[in-house]
Structure 1
Amino acid sequence: MKKTFKLDHPKIKVPRVVDSVKHDIRKFLKKERKKPLPSDAIYWGFDCKFGQSEEAAAEVHLSSLMKHIDELVENNIMTLYVEITPKAITAGEK
């Protein structure tokens, strides 16, 4: 998932748009976790990048992604870039 979200909308308030963005992210993660694992894998892991734009995106941990979204919204930044790449984790990578 590589997506840039715009939070300013003429009719929808920002908190509602932020909820929609978080829902899209959770829906993507749920869909990816349902996919069958390769034979040598234990579980699905995710590499995440997050920032104001694709160029400014930095790697973040999946568990802190929602917190980073809230921080940018508090700073009145109305554009978010999220990149989530699934990867199969094997026993040696734990």
Structure 2
Amino acid sequence: MKKTFNLTHPKIKYPRMVEATKSELRRYIKRERRKALPEGVDFWDFDCKFGDTEATAEAIHLSEIDGRINDAEQRGLTAFYIEVLRKEGIRAKPEKENPVAKIELPKLKKFGEE
């Protein structure tokens, strides 16, 4: 999704327009995550950009979108540009445990034992 959201409307108030844009973005992300994964892919990841205009858009993390929209609302912007593109994500495999690095704890004595 590459879109410039206009936050002005003759009948709808500004706060409702802001909430409508957030809702549209959430629906888009949920819809994209439901799509079938190709072989060897663990999850759908997203490349995101946000800015006042398309030319000034900068790369952000998916979790920063709501905060950026709230910031645009605080500044009173009438429009902003957002880009959310789906990409394939592969989880990093955890490293195997190193048996030498294990710490051995001393054995505890039962009550009454010496």
TM-score per shorter chain, which class? over 0.9
Distance 1:4 1:70 in 2: 16
Partner of 1:7: 7
Aligned-residue CA RMSD in angstroms?
Answer: 1.3
Could you report, residue by residue, the CA deviation over 1:73-93 in whole angstroms, capped at 9, with x for unpaired residues? 101111111100100112459
Partner of 1:76: 76
Partner of 2:55: 55
Task: Give runs of ≥4 in structure 1 deviating > 4 Å.
Answer: none
Distance 2:91 2:57 in 1: 29
Partner of 1:39: 39
Partner of 2:102: none
Structure ranking higher on relative contact order (CA contacts 8 Å, 6+ apart) = 1
Distance 2:91 2:77 in 1: 40
Matched residue type, 2:38: P
Distance 2:22 2:74 in 1: 15
Distance 1:33 1:91 in 2: 16
More helix by share: 1
In the alignment of these two chains, the number of paired residues is 93
Distance 1:71 1:92 in 2: 33
The structure with more radius of gyration: 2
Distance 1:62 1:91 in 2: 17
More strand by share: 1
Distance 1:43 1:72 in 2: 30
